[in-house]
Amino acid sequence: RLNHPNVVKACEVPEEMNFLVNDVPLLAMEYCSGGDLRKLLNKPENCCGLKESQILSLLSDIGSGIQYLHENRIIHRDLKPENIVLQDEGGKIVHKIIDLGYAKDLDQGSLCTSFVGTLQYLAPELFENKSYSGTVDYWSFGTMVFECIAGFRPFLHNLQPFTWHEKIKKKDPKHIFASEEMNGEVRFSTHLPQPHSLCSLIVDPMENWLQLMLNWDPQQRGGGLDPKTSRPKCFLLMDHILNLKIVHMLNMTSAKIVSFLLQPEESLHSLQIRIEFETGISSGNQELLLETGICLDPRKPASQCVIDGVRGWDSYMVYLFDKSKTVYDGPFASRSLSDCVNYIVQDSKIQLPIPQLRKVWAEAVHYVIGLKEDYSRLFQGQRAAMLSLLRYNANLIKMKNNMVSASQQLKAKLEFFHQSIRLDLEKYSDQMAYGISSEKMLKAWKEMEEKASQCAKAKDIGYLDEQIMALHTEIVELQKSPYARRQGEVMESLEQRAIDLYKQLKTRPPDNAYSDSTDMVKIIVQTVQSQDRVLKELFGHLSKLLGCKQKIIDLLPKIEVALNNIKEADSLVMQMQGKRQREIWHLLKIACTQSPSRSLVSSSLEGTASAPAATWLPQSSSGNVPHPLLSVPIPDGENFVHVIEENLYYLELFSSILQEARQEQNSVLNFDWSWLK
């Protein structure tokens, strides 16, 4: 009758197994391939707790499963890591509650007195053989979550349950942690112990939640019911934690992570003001990149920094760059040592008892793993910078192709213009002695020729093309550089050595045995040195990436200016060509009206109007001043027919040149530019 994604499903027993002879009934459940939570916690890399994303995923899944069981009047009574299994569903790890063998149906009575379950995770009232209710699952759940955060159980985890029970029973309701000092004194705390993987914005609400779950008094445990929703307050607080919108940001200028709790409907500008206050980088100089290299859109809200359903700073990060800097040279300090690890680093030969040494070495392993992960995150930031550079480069290539195409078109038009105007000047010189002559028109044509020569400067983009090609070469070299690939092999090897040492220590019997930390400290020092080396290489490579990006940023407006100049020159050439052709046709009109060969001209031109001459004779704007061309001698009509035919020929030639330019542009755009990525 149970059907919930976080409660393991019961299945029909396969028919093939019905023939088995057994004194007990067979039960079948869905297979979960990820093992149980205990297996995950026992991994050496989790000796100081799970990652934040794993903790929040567990909190969501098991919290939902417990609520479902309680809504169906069922107490599990035996929640522990061994009874939480993991299943990969579409790339996402889902936690499921199993082993309902001890579960008690609340319909049989809300108070139960049978003593069952695993002692280390049992609620206090079960030790005292008192009646209990569903809040026993709260205690077990809180104990599990604490262990996932810190790597060990909250109350004197090294002692047997009946021993620590007597020492803890008088704790304050808000105490969530107890440890035993060397002198035997028990120290209580309302805070989570360090180290752990929770970000600072989650620590306080998580501690408040644990205070509700680990309350010794079963009546107060869970915080009671909320009067508005009739839900346990512990689950309301859990939902609040899970619904927090937190953006985690890696400041690439300092190699430090900063986190911000987003307000509802907060704008990106508002977030940038808070970033400026926290980092000192002005909002105008902030560049916020996603892992894909895409820059955040200032028109969209700040919620674009987070992904729905993705929780934990180890799962998703935004990378912060300072646009006013292109050289990132540090210094970048390694993460700080915990007190325990610093103690053995200061004196690696000091002898410590094995139980205490296990705790110290666990923190040492956590530190070594943390150094490697710090580098991995910075490498992801460098990769985001590279992807951003390639996006800028793609835009540069597009603009460069547009510029080259426009330049080629301008070049073709200028060649046509120069050829046609030279021919016009030549033909004009041939006929001016016996035909039409106009000093004003001749002067205007020569001025056009000079302007066309000046326009030729606009098509000269060779200096820009050289800069772009040199920049492309530089970008390709950066892509081929070994520093463009992860350089953490040495740190990974040192991490494995630290884990192996820790495993060996855990197999040693703890009775009256002591050991020093020489080997572990050596690994710590080598890891710090290795991280320092690879970070220098990483930030050197990053500085080159940012330098190339700045060169592109500087080139783009120059290309824009060149494009505008080419367009203006192109427009001017077309205007001059049109003006000159209109003047030629104007001369033709005069010749046709005053030449006895008008009929020959009319029959030689397709589409030439046959309207009366009076309707298209040139008129002055004032109506009383004659047009200057009316006073010039009229040449023979046959010469004008020849000139017009030649103009038509060059118009056709011009169209052909333009078509070739367009085809060449398409050819350039169709090149395979993937080698630049």
Tell whether 468 and 595 lie within a shared domain. Answer: yes
Structure tokens at 297: 């859109």
Secondary structure (3-state) at 49: coil
Residue 9, phi then psi, degrees to nearest 5: -85, 140
Q: Over range 273-293, report the average pLDDT.
A: 92
Would the pLDDT of 624 be above 50?
no
* pLDDT higher than threshold 80 for residue 100: no
pLDDT tier at 481 (50, 70, 90 boundaries)? Answer: confident
Confidence check: pLDDT of 141 > 90: yes
Domain of 84: which CATH number? Answer: 1.10.510.10
CA distance 580 to 574: 10
Extract the tokens encoding 312: 């934990």
Maximum average pLDDT range among 102-106, 207-211, 344-348, 509-513: 207-211
**Domain co-membership, 173 together with 230:** yes
| 598 pLDDT higher than 50 | no
pLDDT at site 594:
60
Q: Is residue 333 part of a domain?
A: no
DSSP classification of residue 232: B
Residue 60 placed within a domain:
yes
State how far the Cα of 471 lies from the Cα of 480, in Å rounded to an integer: 14
Local confidence band at 63 (pLDDT 50, 70, 90 cut-offs): very high
Most confident of 150-164, 587-601, 616-630: 150-164
Tell how strand 246-251 and strand 318-322 pair up.
parallel
Give the helix/strand (H/E) hosting 248.
strand 246-251
Closest by alpha carbon to 375, among 246, 528, 149, 547? 528
Task: Dump pLDDT digits (tens) for 387-404.
Answer: 999 999 999 999 888 888
Distance (Å, whole) CA 432 – CA 164: 120
pTM of the full structure: 0.79
For residue 187, is pLDDT > 60?
yes
* Neighbouring C-alpha atoms within 13 Å toward the C-beta of 309: 3
Least confident span in 33-37, 369-373, 415-419, 543-547: 415-419
Question: What is the arithmetic mean of pLDDT over 81-107?
Answer: 80
Which member of 78, 322, 374, 424 is catalytic?
A: 78
Spell out the alpha helix ranges (H) of 595-673.
598-604, 613-616, 637-669
- Per-residue pLDDT for 605 more than 50? no
Q: Would you place residue 102 in the very low, low, confident or very high pLDDT band (cuts 50, 70, 90)? A: low
- Is residue 336 assigned to a domain? no
What is d(CA 549, CA 392) in angstroms, rounded to the nearest whole number?
A: 7
Is the pLDDT reported for residue 116 higher than 70?
no
Tokens for 425, please give them: 């000047």
pLDDT of 600: 40
Lowest-pLDDT range of 22-31, 44-53, 273-282, 365-374: 22-31
- Model confidence at 672, in pLDDT bands (50, 70, 90)? low
Q: Lowest mean pLDDT: which of 188-197, 239-248, 440-449, 668-677?
A: 668-677
Domain identity same for 280 and 253: yes
Length of the chain: 677
For residue 243, the model assigns a pLDDT of 93
Whether the predicted pLDDT of 484 surpasses 70: yes
pLDDT score recorded for residue 632: 45
Q: What are the residues whose beta carbons fall under 8 Å from the beta carbon of 222, sequence distance 6 or more? A: 135, 138, 212, 213, 215, 232, 233, 234
Q: Which range has the top average pLDDT, 91-95, 238-242, 436-440, 572-576?
A: 238-242
Decide if 255 is inside a domain. yes
Mean pLDDT of 360-383: 92
For the cut 70, the answer to whether the pLDDT of residue 216 exceeds it is yes
Name the residue with tokens 């992570």. Answer: 257
Q: How many CA atoms lie within 13 A of 583 on its CB side?
A: 22
Task: Quickly state the pLDDT bin for 385 (edges 50, 70, 90).
Answer: very high
| Mean pLDDT in residue range 308-332 | 85
81 assigned to some structural domain: yes
Q: Label residue 482 exposed, middle or buried (CB < 10 Å: 0-12, 13-18, 19+).
A: exposed
Q: Cα(464)–Cα(470) distance, rounded to whole angstroms? A: 10
In a domain, 418, yes or no: yes
262-278 average pLDDT score: 92
Q: Do residue 318 and residue 371 come from a single domain?
A: no
- CATH number of the domain enclosing 277: 3.10.20.90
On the CB side of 91, how many CA atoms lie within 13 Å of its CA?
A: 1
CA nearest neighbour of 151 among 42, 238, 311, 54: 42
Task: Give bridge partners of residue 84 from the DSSP assignment.
Answer: 97
Tally the domains of the chain.
Answer: 3
Task: Mark whether 286 and 426 lie in a shared domain.
Answer: no
Query: 């409907």: which residue's tokens?
Result: 265
Q: Report which of residues 366 and 670 the model is more confident about.
A: 366
- Where is the domain boundary, 214, 242, 270? 242
235 with 255, same domain: the answer is: no
Considering 90-94, 606-610, 641-645, the range whose residues carry the highest mean pLDDT is 90-94
Q: Is the predicted pLDDT of residue 261 greater than 70, yes or no?
A: yes
For the chain, the average pLDDT equals 82
Lowest mean pLDDT among 15-24, 505-514, 543-552: 15-24
Asked which of 113-117, 313-317, 518-522, 670-674 is least confident by mean pLDDT, the reply is 113-117
Whether 78 is catalytic is: yes
DSSP 519-549: HHHHHHHHHHHHHHHHHHHHHHHHHHHHHHH
204 plus 257 within the same structural domain: no
The candidate with the shortest Cα–Cα distance to 436, out of 424, 449, 420, 448, is: 424
Of 174-188, 252-266, 530-544, which range is least confident? 174-188
Residue type, 319: Y
Whether the per-residue pLDDT at 108 is higher than 70: the answer is no
H or E stretch covering 20 = none
pLDDT score at 419: 83
Same domain? 159 vs 301: no
Q: Are residues 272 and 237 part of one domain?
A: no
**pLDDT value at residue 161:** 76
**Of 190, 207, 242, the domain-final residue:** 242
- Of 587, 585, 576, which Cα lies nearest the Cα of 450? 576
**Helix, strand, coil distribution of the chain in percent, nearest 5:** 60, 10, 30
Task: Collect all residues with Cβ–Cβ distance below 8 Å to 539 and sequence separation of at least 6.
Answer: 328, 329, 330, 332
Burial of 210 (0-12, 13-18, 19+ CB in 10 A): buried
Q: Which of 345, 336, 341 is nearest to 371 (CA)?
A: 336
Residue 91 belongs to domain spanning: 10-242
Same domain, 367 and 420: yes
Judged against a pLDDT cut of 50, whether residue 113 lies above it is answered with: no
Q: Report the CATH number at residue 441.
A: 1.20.1270.250
Q: Is 93 helix (H, G, I), strand (E, B) or coil?
A: strand
pLDDT score, position 104: 54
Looking at the fold, whether 463 and 585 belong to one and the same domain comes out as: yes
The arithmetic mean of pLDDT across residues 151-174, rounded, is 85
- Of residues 542, 586, 579, 573, the one with CA closest to residue 654: 573
User: Confidence class of residue 584 from pLDDT cuts 50, 70 and 90?
Assistant: confident
User: CA nearest 251: which of 280, 212, 221, 208?
Assistant: 280
Q: What pLDDT score does 31 carry?
A: 85
Q: For 532-536, what is the mean pLDDT?
A: 90
> Residue 131: which of 71, 218, 259, 1 has the closest Cα?
218
Whether 142 and 225 share a structural domain: yes
Contacts of 576 (CB under 8 A, 6+ apart): 417, 448, 451, 452
Secondary structure element (H or E) that encloses residue 461, with its range: none
Specify if 5 maps to a domain: no
**Is residue 342, in this structure, part of any structural domain at all?**
no
| Rounded alpha-carbon distances, angstroms, from residue 82 to 39, 78, 86, 283, 469 | 8, 10, 11, 49, 62
